[in-house]
Structure 1
Amino acid sequence: MAMATTRPDGAGGGSTTDADVIVVGAGPGGSSAAYHLASTGLDVLLVEKTTFPREKVCGDGLTPRAVRSLVEMGIDTSPAAGWARNKGLRIVGGGVRMELPWPDLASWPGYGLVRPRLDFDDLLVRHAVKAGARLQEGTAVTGPLIDERTGRVVGVLARTGPDREPVTYRAPLIIAADGNSARIALALGIRRREDRPLGVAVRRYYRSPLTNDDHLESHLELWEGRPRESRLLPGYGWIFGVGDGTSNVGLGLLNTTDAFQHTNYADLLRRWLGALPPEWGFTEDNAIGPVRGSALPMGFNRTPHYRDGVLLVGDAGGMVNPFNGEGIAYALESGRYAAEVAVQALARAEGPARERALGHYPAIIRTQYGGYYTLGRYFVQLIGNPTIMALGTKYGLPRPMLMRFVLKIMANLTDPRGGDAMDRLINAMTRLAPAA
């Protein structure tokens, strides 16, 4: 159908705004893609259903893997710029409390970060805008615009502004970074794979003296009541100091556990926190805001990652790490990979040559994460068995060498070439695992 073409910063009802690439969703994956695309000089329209700053459910903790992407984007990650740095991971479980420093590697920074998503996402999207991306806030994409002749996606349909006026945006390429809702993918028939893991996490902020903790703290066991042996609850927990007087405290469950479908997560959080030392401050009087929850789409639970002019990044493509629930690092990286593919594709004539370039995106993603995520899927199946989890906690945690190995594989932090014996073993395991 014929439509007028305009290039306003905003769009009224029924108008069409063209771009080289439309990015749907301005979370970390979308902002990363928009930044890298705009940095090459492409015209990028970044469409976001909310307005910034906006809250997002997350643990707010960034491993060195995520930090590297931020550094590559030229973002100042110093404490003076508002970041809380951490030295490593503290693991609590089986009566053991062990601090593991982040690995000293050539390929990754030696520190992690914490920053609330309310601020973090706003910083990232402004960075993309500074690079040249055009941000359209308050605009909810309702579905893809499909060329009936070719079957390809040639834009998006949306509603924008306070009156939710209908608007159409056109572009030869779409990057879907619309999170777990994956509206674009669902419209194309790309549904969630039931054979892949899914997690649910809830979190809440508390005023706490632990706010300046220099380690991310992970609880492999959640106990209710005192003494500790009273009752073991399902799931795993975290306590991340935000550095602003508060801590982000939360817990998660995997769908490989029997309790996944039968748990009141807010109540589970309350019961666990009630057993922690009161001087930590995790009480109702110190709570800031409600308990909020979100799904964690893991291990490529939505494929294929490219179809008919649409590339999936981050949570929209089920790219959360099954080992540790980390999603931001993989959203940032996949946004960059999608941008690199899009740049090469748009340098070719429309048709088979461009399609070959776009079709390479799933192969890139599979090469980067496929074998590793396969190992992660095996891992979540194992820890879904309470007996195996209890044995691992009892006999694994007291062994520092083993736990350093576990930290490297769970955080996906190895030097790809050279490295130590642990790196070589993990890299070999990843290569040998089927990248499905």
Structure 2
Amino acid sequence: MVDARSDDADVIVVGAGPAGSSAAYHCASAGLEVLLLEKAEFPRDKVCGDGLTPRAVKELAAMGVSLREEDGWIRNRGLRVVGGGHRLELPWPELSSYPSYGLARSRMSLDHMLASHARAAGAKLLERTNVTGPLLDERTGRVVGVTARPVGSDGKRAGDDVTYRAPVVIAADGVSARLATGLGLEKRMDRPMGVAVRTYFRTPRHDDPWMESQLELWDGAPGSSNLMPGYGWIFSLGDGTANVGLGSVSSTAAATKVDYKDLFRKWMANAPAEWEFTPENQIGEVRGAALPMGFNRGPLYGRGLMLAGDSAGMISPFNGEGIAYGLQAGRFAADSVVQAAARGSAAGRERALAAYQTRMKDDLGGYYTLGRVFVKLIEHPQVMHVCTRYGLPRPLLMKFVLKLLSDCYEPRGGDMVDRTISALARLAPAA
């Protein structure tokens, strides 16, 4: 379908994380010529909790990804929450819209698998290709490709700059959002921003069938020391290790002065001995990353450029998950690109491409707005303490909280909890 005289592909996808690989897979599966550009070389690491909710599992199933345990996955039954003197195990709900289990897998392995899956579908993957900016049409200002620089294994320049051209570019280039900022699309300071740090430990808890969330972090024995900001997680990977980390969220993108690595050290110093979260069992350093949330950059489409995943702030304000929404955005973006390629006029193609933003905002805009309200309530440790102490013992309330925080509810129909969340999401403005 590519015009060999001008374009290198029907669509260029920048970044081979979950959003980019999803977009590349779905476009290639529909018969488009896809160029997938990744600045690193696989396998490569990414700071993440490595846990996937049922919403993410649904997207993986739609891509035809094998989800068997022998292929590197560990399934989990639900979420274990610990806080306020309580310990509660909440199974994933039984729904028609989503499977009733989650998954975990290290991002080093997950991203490599997804990129390979996109390549097997027909996408052309170029690793060690650092995209430096958008390529613009001089007359219209439309994005018609990208400029890129080949890099070596050390991350340094390994050749002359090159250009790649395509009618549409999907920017799935992560928090840096280099393509978006190259067009002057700055992040919104009034949207939530999270920070997370994590590392890996060899631990007897490696096969725990529950994703665990520690809603209170103390710098000593609980109740006799200071309550620290944020929440912790322990996600077992089934291979002898667990991903252990902590994160916090602010209702605005203003920088904080909190030393999160120091918080992590204090938390680990008081972890139960039987978990074996000790320095000698730690694998790799403690690494951190920013978590842009709630559609903090836009528009999601304009002038030939689509934003997907972290580049558009698609991380949930409720739980810090980005993989599910990156996979979904890739699928939605690909659908718009495929439809645009079938249109017979420029105006028709633009309408098809613009439908991507409408679809994403219709599906997630109200939910993310609710998330911003949620963040304003729980960003203070003492508020979280009161909520966990008095909220966890109430089963109906916790059923509501689990479905709301995991974004796993029936969008139409379902029980009273599903209908309540759906109504709230519809009523909230999708700003």
Alignment-derived partner of residue 291 in structure 1:
286
Q: Give the corresponding residue for 1:319.
A: 314
Give the % identical residues. 60
Contact 1:234 1:259 in 2 (8 A): no
- Does residue 1:47 correspond to 2:37, yes or no? yes
Alpha-carbon distance, 1:5 to partner:
5.8
**How big is each residue's C-alpha offset from its partner over 1:171-208, in whole Å with a ceiling of 9 and x where there is no partner?**
00000000111000001111100000000100000011
Q: Does 1:143 align with 2:138?
A: no
Question: Which consecutive residues of structure 1, in runs of 5 or more, have no partner in the other structure?
Answer: 7-15
Q: Secondary structure at the match of 1:181?
A: coil
* Counterparts of 1:263 and 1:366, CA distance in 2: 32
Shift of 1:353: 1.6
Counterpart CA distance in 2 for 1:208 and 1:260 is: 34
Is the 8 Å Cα contact of residues 205 and 247 (structure 1) preserved in structure 2?
Answer: yes
- Structure 1 residue aligned with 2:155: none
Work out the CA distance in 1 between the residues paired with 2:41 and 2:427.
44
Superposition deviation, residue 261 in structure 1: 1.2
Q: 1:144 to 1:366 in 2, by over 3 A?
A: same
Alignment of 1:171 with 2:161, yes or no, is no
CA RMSD between the two structures: 1.6
Equivalent pair of 2:84/2:386 in contact (CA under 8 Å)? no
Separation in structure 2 between the aligned mates of residue 385 and residue 245 of structure 1, nearest angstrom: 35
Q: Which moved more, 1:414-423 or 1:348-357?
A: 348-357
2:153 matched to 1:158?
A: no
Structure 2 spans left out of the alignment, 5+ residues: 153-157
- The answer on whether the counterparts of 1:103 and 1:110 sit within 8 Å (CA) in structure 2 is yes
**1:89 aligned partner:** 79
Other structure's SS at 1:288 match:
strand
Please give the alpha-carbon distance, in whole angstroms, between the structure 1 residues aligned to 2:82 and 2:222: 16
For residues 32-431 of structure 1, the aligned pairs below 5 Å read 32-162=22-152, 163-226=158-221, 228-256=223-251, 261-431=256-426
Aligned residues between the structures: 424
Q: TM-score, normalised by structure 2?
A: 0.96
Q: Distance in 2 between matches of 1:23 and 1:259?
A: 30
What is the one-letter code of the residue matched to 1:65? R
C-alpha separation in 1, matches of 2:237 and 2:177: 29
Task: Write the deviation string for residues 243-264 of structure 1: whole angstroms up to 9, x where unpaired.
Answer: 1101100001112499961211
Partner of 1:229, secondary structure, is coil
Deviates more, 1:404-413 or 1:377-386: 377-386
Deviation at 1:161, TM superposition (A): 4.4
Tell me how far 1:160 sits from its aligned partner. 1.2
Give the secondary structure class of the aligned counterpart of 1:164. coil
- Per the TM alignment, residue 281 of structure 1 is displaced from its structure 2 partner at its CA by 1.0
| 1:150 CA displacement | 1.0
- Deviation of 1:81 (Å): 1.3
2:219 and 2:401 map into 1 onto residues whose CA distance is 27
CA contact (8 A) 2:79 2:211 kept: yes
Corresponding position: 1:433 with 2:428: yes
Paired with 2:234 and 2:309, the residues of 1 have a C-alpha distance of: 24
What is the letter of the counterpart of residue 209 of structure 1? P
**Which digits, 9 at most, give the CA deviation of each residue in 1:339-390, with x for residues without a partner?**
0001111112352221121122111110010000000000001112344322
Match of 2:15?
A: 25
Tell me the secondary structure at the aligned position of residue 338 of structure 2.
helix
Question: What's the secondary structure of 1:141's corresponding residue?
Answer: strand
- Residue by residue over 1:10-49, the C-alpha shift from the partner in whole angstroms, topping out at 9 and shown as x without a partner, is xxxxxx8700000000000000000000001100000000
Counterpart of 1:337 in 2: which secondary structure? helix
Alignment partners' CA distance in 2, 1:358 and 1:226: 54
Contact 2:135–2:144, Cα closer than 8 Å, also in 1: yes
Distance of aligned partners of 1:144 and 1:260 in 2 relative to their CA distance in 1, 3 Å threshold = closer
Could you tell me which amino acid in structure 1 is paired with residue 399 of structure 2?
Answer: R
Please say if residues 391 and 398 of structure 2, whose CA atoms lie closer than 8 Å, have aligned partners that are also in contact.
yes
Rounded Cα–Cα distance in structure 1 between residues aligned with 2:18 and 2:380: 33
